[in-house]
């Protein structure tokens, strides 16, 4: 369906996007250790004819993901793994996605066989002799975006369970305790109930934990035939703990609290509420405080915060300006800030207006763009600046989005969410 070289090059394109989004955790010891265990898994897998990379991402989000030729694992999940055997099972699961050609199958399901054929031709042209065809880059970009967003979506129940079976087999063949996969799933399930920062993504993008444990137990109870002939297995708890002890501690999760349909943040003293049928999910990465999505997952949104510095800022919109910027210590309005940010959104602006919402004077913009799958999407975004100190002002963005063909179905809910945003 697609050439191997095209598949691997697609993985490299997705790798750039994912690293740009989350960053690499700079610790040579941890990176080398993960790479070592990953290569032990590769040595027993069925697909050894491609090069595998293992990358630790610098985020507290609890997740692992694979694109062709590259396995990602986050700093957050490394802190919740207990020993080397569990690490081998997690990496084995991700290698299982690569050996199972799950990325290609996902593209086929989303766009069809013809798209794969075009993609293969495009990739060969782009990574062979030079080609200057905007359509070629558009096809590659569409595929890259779909793959990259799998980090937050997963591969679906069928492929995840298949990767579980492959991961268990690889871990056992590499000499690790097969019970480690069950212990890891149990811990993830219990921590999810405690709302550990970022773990919701891991649980949401994978099948129910109880189902995964049940499937693994079935395999083990059948006297798993791939056990090493020596019968010896290891977990290497001490080694794992020694190497990982320098990782920075995960956030406690107390900075943001979810109670039913409400989100409270004691640090910033802000709250947000979602309508019936919607769900909140605490994230606590560098900027995103909470995400929310509708029952059918078609409509989504997030609350972000960041500091707005008091250095060079845009001139006030009403005033003529020459160079476009000036040195100013005057408070920045929500409208000025929004217009400053809009070029980086890379979306077509449809409307914008200043509003007086419960949280205070704000600015709302509506935009036409693409979601993470490259599909036409409408966005409704609220900008608000709380104010601050000499370090800058604390600013907040609430983004709500839905597919273009169903956007108007969610407008009332979007308005309820934006108007619920308030100080307490």
Is residue 351 over pLDDT 60? yes
Q: What is the widest separation between alpha-carbon atoms in the chain?
A: 80
Distances (CA, A) of 2 to 6, 38, 132, 155: 7, 25, 21, 19
Measured CA to CA, the distance from residue 40 to residue 189 in angstroms comes to 27
Q: Which residues make Cβ contacts (< 8 Å) with residue 290, sequence separation at least 6? A: 256, 258, 263, 272, 280, 281, 282, 283, 302, 303
By C-alpha distance, which of 224, 211, 210 is closest to 178?
Answer: 224
The pLDDT assigned to 238 comes to: 93
- Eight-state DSSP code of residue 62: -
Q: Among 71-85, 212-226, 241-255, 369-383, whose mean pLDDT is lowest?
A: 241-255
Please tell me whether residue 187 adopts helix, strand or coil conformation.
helix
Q: Are 283 and 289 in contact (CB under 8 A)?
A: yes
**Tokens 């969610």 — which residue?**
410
Rounded percentage of the chain residues whose pLDDT exceeds 70: 74
Tokens of 331: 């408070």
- C-alpha distances (whole Å) from 270 to each of 187, 212, 333 are 31, 37, 19
Q: Which residues contact 61 (CB under 8 A, 6 or more apart)?
A: 22, 74, 76, 197, 198, 201, 283, 285
User: Structure pTM?
Assistant: 0.63
Residue 61: closest CA among 48, 53, 72 = 72
Quick one: which of 262, 292, 312, 289 has its CA closest to 396? 289
CA separation for the pair 303, 291 (Å, rounded): 6
Edge-to-edge strands, sheet with 360-370? 279-282, 288-293, 300-308, 392-403, 376-389, 360-370, 348-357
DSSP 256: S
Q: What is the pLDDT of residues 277-322, one digit of tens each?
A: 999 887 655 688 889 999 988 999 999 988 875 443 333 333 343 3
Residue 131, pLDDT score? 47
Q: For tokens 């507290």, name the residue.
A: 60
Per-residue pLDDT tens over the stretch 85-140: 999 999 999 999 999 998 888 877 766 666 656 655 655 554 443 445 555 556 66
Rg, Å, the chain Cα set: 23
Give the DSSP letter string of 356-370: EETTEEEEEEEEEEE
Residue ranges and CATH numbers for the domains of the chain are 4-244 (no CATH), 257-423 (3.40.1000.10)
Paired with 40 in beta bridges are none
In whole angstroms, what is the distance from residue 77 CA to residue 202 CA?
Answer: 9
Whether the Cβ atoms of residue 98 and residue 71 lie closer than 8 Å to each other: yes
Query: Would you say residue 259 has pLDDT above 60?
Result: yes
Q: List alpha helices for 65-156, DSSP H.
A: 75-80, 84-99, 102-111, 113-127, 134-148, 150-153
pLDDT tens digits along 20-44: 888 899 899 999 999 999 999 999 9
- Confidence check: pLDDT of 401 > 90: yes
311 HSE (CA, 13 A, CB side): 3
CA atoms within 13 A on the CB side of 314: 17
Confidence at residue 318, expressed as pLDDT on a 0 to 100 scale: 39
Distance CA 103, CA 159 (A): 10
For the chain, the helix, strand and coil percentages under 3-state DSSP, each to the nearest 5:
45, 25, 30
pLDDT at 353: 95
Q: Average model confidence (pLDDT) for the chain?
A: 81
The answer to whether residues 271 and 264 touch, using CB atoms and an 8 Å cutoff, is yes
Q: No. of H helices and E strands in the chain?
A: 15, 16
Q: Print burial letters for 201-231: b (CB count within 10 Å at least 16), e (below 16).
A: bbbbbbbebeebbeebeebeeeeeeeeeeee
């Amino acid at each position: 369906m697609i050439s191997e070289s095209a598949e691997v090059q697609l993985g490299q394109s997705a790798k750039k996007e994912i690293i740009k989004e989350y960053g690499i955790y700079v610790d040579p010891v941890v990176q080398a250790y993960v790479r070592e265990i990953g290569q032990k898994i590769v040595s027993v897998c069925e697909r050894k004819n491609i090069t595998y990379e293992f990358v630790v991402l610098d985020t507290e989000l609890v997740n692992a993901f694979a694109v062709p030729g590259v396995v990602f694992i986050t700093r957050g999940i490394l802190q919740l793994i207990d020993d080397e055997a569990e690490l081998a099972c997690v990496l084995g699961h991700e290698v299982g996605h690569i050996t199972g050609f799950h990325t290609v199958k996902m593209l086929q399901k989303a766009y069809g066989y013809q798209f794969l054929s075009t993609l293969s031709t495009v990739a060969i042209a782009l990574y062979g002799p030079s080609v200057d065809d905007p359509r070629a880059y558009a096809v590659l970009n569409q595929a890259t975006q779909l793959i990259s967003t799998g980090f937050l979506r997963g591969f679906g129940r069928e492929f995840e369970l298949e990767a579980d079976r492959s991961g268990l087999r690889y871990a056992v063949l590499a000499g690790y305790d097969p019970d480690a996969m069950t212990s890891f799933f149990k811990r993830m399930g219990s921590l999810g109930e405690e709302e550990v920062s970022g773990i919701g993504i891991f649980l949401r993008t994978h099948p129910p934990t109880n189902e995964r444990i049940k499937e693994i137990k079935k395999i083990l109870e059948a006297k798993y035939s791939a056990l090493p002939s020596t019968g010896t297995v290891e977990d290497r708890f001490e080694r794992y703990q020694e190497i990982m002890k320098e990782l920075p501690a995960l956030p406690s999760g107390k900075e943001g609290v979810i109670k039913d349909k409400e989100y409270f943040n004691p640090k910033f003293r802000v709250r947000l509420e979602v309508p019936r049928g919607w769900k909140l999910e605490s994230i606590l990465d560098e900027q995103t405080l909470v995400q929310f999505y509708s029952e059918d997952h078609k409509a989504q949104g997030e609350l972000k915060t960041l500091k707005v510095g008091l250095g060079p800022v845009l001139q006030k919109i009403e005033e003529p300006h020459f160079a476009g910027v000036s040195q100013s210590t005057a408070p920045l309005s929500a409208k000025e800030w929004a217009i400053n940010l809009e070029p980086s959104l890379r979306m077509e602006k449809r409307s914008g207006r200043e509003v007086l919402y419960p949280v205070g004077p704000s600015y709302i913009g509506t935009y036409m763009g693409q979601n993470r799958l490259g599909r036409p999407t409408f966005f409704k975004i609220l900008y608000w600046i709380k104010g601050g100190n000499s370090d800058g002002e604390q600013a907040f963005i609430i983004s709500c989005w839905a597919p273009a063909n169903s956007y108007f179905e969610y407008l009332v809910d979007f308005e309820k969410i934006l108007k619920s945003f308030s100080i307490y």
